[in-house]
Each structure stands twice: as structure tokens, then as C-alpha cells.
Amino acid sequence: MRPYRLAVPVVLFAKVVALSQEGRQQNTTVQSGTSQRDTVDAGSTTDGNNYHSDYFNFTYHLPDGFVAGTEQYRQGIEELSGVHGSADTFILLHAEQRLAPDAGVNAAITIMADRLSRYPKGATEKDYLRHLVTQSLKGQGDALREGTEIYVSGHRFFRADYKVNGHGYQTVMLTFQRGFALSWTFMAASKPDLDGIIESMVHTTVAK
């Protein structure tokens, strides 16, 4: 099976940052989230596969074979030319699956939070998701499904599935919580692999 490419999650992160910068230009009343970064980022992984976010108060169980590497992922983004972080976009968790210790990445999961206050008022989850998918593809793939409403642990999420040319398949599951767009992005080389990974959402517990 062809290994997954790190470039794909990095591209997605870059698109979220681009949306943030675009929204900031549309909403000049936004304040920087730098002082809140440590609080929003607060979380921990226990037993190697259970991630808990203190700020958003959810627990997510990683699928078998996935290893968390959030700090390494953040550092990798910072080292890449042309990708600049945002004080209002937070990577909460990044985990990867490799078929062998020295193999390339076969699949990846990234959980992010993007502050909503800089976007136009009244924007819905579907609006945010549609804009994100449109900007992410830009003629380099096909949307397979967009805006499907699902419920996880009693919370409403919206889902988009798409194929990126040369980079496999991606699914984004999104909800608004505590003034942020909270998203899970699942990435895999094949659709069957992706579907199996997405099933891990049934083990997610989001406090009400």
C-alpha cells in the first residue's frame, strides 16, 4: 500500500490558517488568542491511545496502531517554508499510523480548533466546512460528500468526504464549541482504510 504523505495534513492546516487570515481581514474587532494558547492546547494522552482535551472537555480514543506525535507535527509545520502559524488556530492532537517502524505514514488523524470570532457573524458549521473543502481542493480533487449531519456523543457534527489527487482520501468532521470550530480530519491512502479509522469516532465522549 502506498504510504501517505505528510504534505496532505500540512496543506489542510495551511488552508485553515488562510481562512483565519481572510476572516481577520473581514472582522477587525478580533483580539489575538496568544494569551489563551496554553489553555486551549491543554490536553493529555493516557495509556498511549486516549486523548483528553481539558479546554473542550472531550475524550477521544485513537484507533489501534496509531501513535500520537503532536509536538513533532507542530515543529514540522513551523520548519516548512511558506506555512505560518496563527495565534487563533490550535493543533490539539496529531497521530499517525505506520505499517512498519521505518515505513512512511499510511494514515493520519489531526484534531484542530479554530477561533470563530474573526469570521463573519452568522456563519454556520456548513458554511465553514464548505469554504474549507473548497479551498483545500481547488481543482486538485473531488468532493464525495459534503455537509452530512451526524451526532457524536449527543453533539451535532457535520461531515465532508473528499479525494485529493495523489494524496488519497480525507474526511473532516466538524462542530462548533466554546467559540471554536472543532474538527477531526482523517486521512488515509485508501477509502476502506479511511472508513475503518472514522469508526473511532464512536468512542469519542464530548461533555454537554
Percent of the chain scoring above 90 in pLDDT: 24
Burial class of 176 by CB neighbour count within 10 A (0 to 12, 13 to 18, 19+): middle
Which set of grid coordinates corresponds to residue 86?
496563527
Domain limits, the chain: 7-206
Q: In the predicted model, what is the mean pLDDT of the chain?
A: 77
User: Residue 31 CB: number of other CB atoms within 10 A?
Assistant: 12
User: Residue 113 CB: number of other CB atoms within 10 A?
Assistant: 24
**pLDDT grade for 129, boundaries at 50, 70 and 90:** confident
State the pLDDT at residue 39: 83
The sign one gets for the Cα dihedral 130, 133, 136, 142 is: negative
Contact, 169 vs 187, CB < 8 A?
A: yes
Percent of the chain scoring above 70 in pLDDT: 75
State the pLDDT at residue 36: 57
State the pLDDT at residue 75: 82
**pLDDT grade for 52, boundaries at 50, 70 and 90:** very high
For 12-42, write each residue's pLDDT tens digit. Answer: 554 554 454 454 444 433 344 445 556 887 7
Average pLDDT estimate for 144-165: 86
Say if domain 7-206 classifies as CATH 3.40.1000.10.
Answer: yes
| The model's pTM | 0.80
Average pLDDT estimate for 193-199: 89
Segments in the chain forming alpha helices (H): 7-26, 37-41, 70-79, 125-137, 191-198
User: Which residue, among 127, 147, 136, 207, has the nearest Cα to 170 in the 3D structure?
Assistant: 136
